[in-house]
Amino acid sequence: MEDLIFVHPLWVIVLDYVLGLVMWTLIGRAAMNIFLAEDSDFFFMRFFVRATNPIIAVFRPIIPGFLIEPLVPLFVAWFFYMIRFYLMPWLLGYSVMGMLSFPLESDVAQGLYELFGRW
């Protein structure tokens, strides 16, 4: 597998990592919200809420009113997914890049394969 730095420019990798981390943090908040309230004292839940509240505030004007509050982070994460899967390849002149073409997820998958693939 070619290194992603040779396939994509560095700014694309950095932008995708940032967008990916935001997306997965929003998904983590939605998942944690299944088990804990948003005002929980648990460290990870406080982190997820503090890290994602500003992002959700930016998207608040376009969040439908009928959407229940625990699903709002998932709705916002969907926008980040759409940007990463459709807008970025289009702006870079690619057609759809395919499954596991995201640099962040590709690196994680490759690391997991190297870690567990030998068993």
| Predicted pLDDT at 13 | 80
Taking CA atoms, 88 is separated from 61, 94, 116, in Å, by: 24, 9, 31
Q: What average pLDDT does the segment 7-12 reach?
A: 76
State pTM to two decimals: 0.79
pLDDT in tens, 21-49: 999 999 999 999 999 998 999 998 999 99
| Predicted pLDDT at 1 | 45
Taking CA atoms, 23 is separated from 6, 39, 109, 117, in Å, by: 25, 21, 17, 27
**CA angle, 93 as apex, 78 and 16 as ends, to 5°?**
40
pLDDT in tens, 78-92: 999 988 887 777 777
Domain count, the chain: 1
Better pLDDT: 37 or 107:
37
Q: Is residue 23 within 8 Å of 80, Cβ to Cβ? A: yes
Q: Which residue has the tokens 């809420």?
A: 49
Q: What are phi and psi of 117, to 5 degrees?
A: -70, -20
Q: Which of 2-16, 46-60, 67-81 has the lowest mean pLDDT?
A: 2-16
The alpha helices in the chain, defined as continuous H runs, are: 4-7, 10-35, 43-59, 72-82, 88-92, 103-116
**Structural domain span for residue 20:** 4-116
In whole angstroms, what is the distance from residue 45 CA to residue 101 CA? Answer: 30
